[in-house]
């Protein structure tokens, strides 16, 4: 009896957290899934089951399709940009530089700033007459000047670049932690065998950094698919609907009182995130074990 009581001790500790998680996530998710199949609106007293009508509307609305396209572009660009730059910064700042601690703090600091602060800083800089275009003109690269926040063809890429600038330092910190856990003996053995810096990076650093890569890929992918704040504060989804993402469309749907439609879009986003992230997580875990 005493042994059974001890074996159940861990479950007793988990139950409170599990109950809170269920109350604030699982139950609302189930209720939201049901309401996504209804015509739930602010201006109606009754709620009617309408089947797949909300989802059919999503895939027939050009603005909603554009928002999904922009969300995927943002996610892909930020996943690649954040991780590639973060690994490069982590490797550079893992070297014996006198100023490495200062530089680490400098590169990490944007990630602790509010998105609102970032928008206040970048919005004037990205205007047509802003500092970035003036800098290009000063150094003779005026052809690179763009309407960064008002050109429909590049606005989502601009928002992605701002997000990369802000959050790369956070990913860098995770990669630094991974690098510092790698024994220097591996590199010493590789040097003795005649391997250069690039071969050591490919055959030692990257394989042993897979746990950190796995974490960062999942964080940046899920964050990219759930993007909202950056677009909302920098462009509000404009110009027109050119930078709309799924998050801003959900806000607009709820703001217009179309709660059933907004819940359907949110449910679709949850399904997309799950379909993309779980197979990627399984694949990365297998690679991690294999290495």
Question: Does residue 1 have a pLDDT over 80?
Answer: no
- Residue 4 binned pLDDT confidence (cut-offs 50, 70, 90): low
What is the token pair recorded at 96?
Answer: 């014996």
Tens digit of pLDDT for each residue in 64-115?
A: 999 999 999 999 999 999 999 999 999 999 988 889 899 999 999 999 988 8
**116: confidence class by pLDDT, cuts 50, 70, 90:** confident
**Domain 62-290 falls in which CATH fold?**
MetI-like fold (1.10.3720)
Task: Give 283's contacts (C-beta < 8 A, 6+ positions apart).
Answer: none
Whether the pTM exceeds 0.85: the reply is yes
pLDDT tens for 185-242 read 888 888 888 888 888 888 888 888 998 999 999 999 999 999 999 999 999 998 989 9
- The vertex-222 CA angle with 216 and 223, nearest 5°, equals 85
Task: Give the tokens for residue 180.
Answer: 């510092």
Task: Give which of 274, 177, 228 is closest to 71, Cα–Cα.
Answer: 228
pLDDT at 143: 85
Average pLDDT over residues 116-136: 89
Residue 6 has pLDDT above 70, yes or no: no
């Amino acid at each position: 009896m005493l042994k059974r009581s001890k074996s159940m001790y861990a479950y007793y500790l988990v139950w409170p957290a599990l109950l809170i998680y269920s109350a604030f996530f699982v139950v609302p998710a189930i209720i939201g899934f049901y309401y996504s199949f209804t015509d739930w609106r602010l201006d109606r007293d009754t709620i009617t089951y309408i089947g797949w009508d909300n989802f059919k509307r999503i895939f027939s609305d050009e603005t909603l399709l554009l928002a999904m396209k922009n969300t995927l572009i943002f996610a892909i660009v930020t996943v690649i940009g954040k991780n590639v730059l973060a690994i490069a910064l982590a490797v550079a700042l893992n070297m014996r530089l006198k100023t490495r601690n200062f530089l680490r703090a400098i590169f990490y600091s944007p990630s602790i700033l509010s998105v609102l602060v970032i928008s206040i800083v970048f919005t004037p800089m990205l205007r047509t007459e802003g500092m970035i275009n003036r800098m290009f003109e000063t150094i003779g690269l005026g052809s690179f000047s763009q309407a960064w926040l008002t050109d429909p063809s590049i606005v989502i890429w601009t928002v992605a670049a701002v997000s990369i600038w802000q959050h790369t330092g956070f990913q860098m910190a995770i990669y630094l932690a991974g690098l510092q856990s790698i024994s220097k003996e591996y590199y010493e053995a590789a040097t003795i065998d005649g391997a250069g810096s690039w071969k050591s990076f490919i055959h030692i650093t990257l394989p042993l950094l897979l746990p950190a890569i796995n974490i960062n890929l999942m964080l940046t992918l899920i964050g990219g698919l759930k993007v909202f704040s950056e677009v909302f504060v920098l462009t509000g989804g404009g110009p027109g609907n050119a930078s709309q993402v799924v998050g801003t469309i959900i806000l607009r749907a709820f703001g217009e009182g179309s709660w059933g439609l907004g819940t359907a879009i949110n449910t679709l986003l949850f399904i997309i995130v799950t379909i993309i992230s779980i197979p990627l997580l399984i694949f990365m875990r297998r690679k991690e074990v294999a290495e």
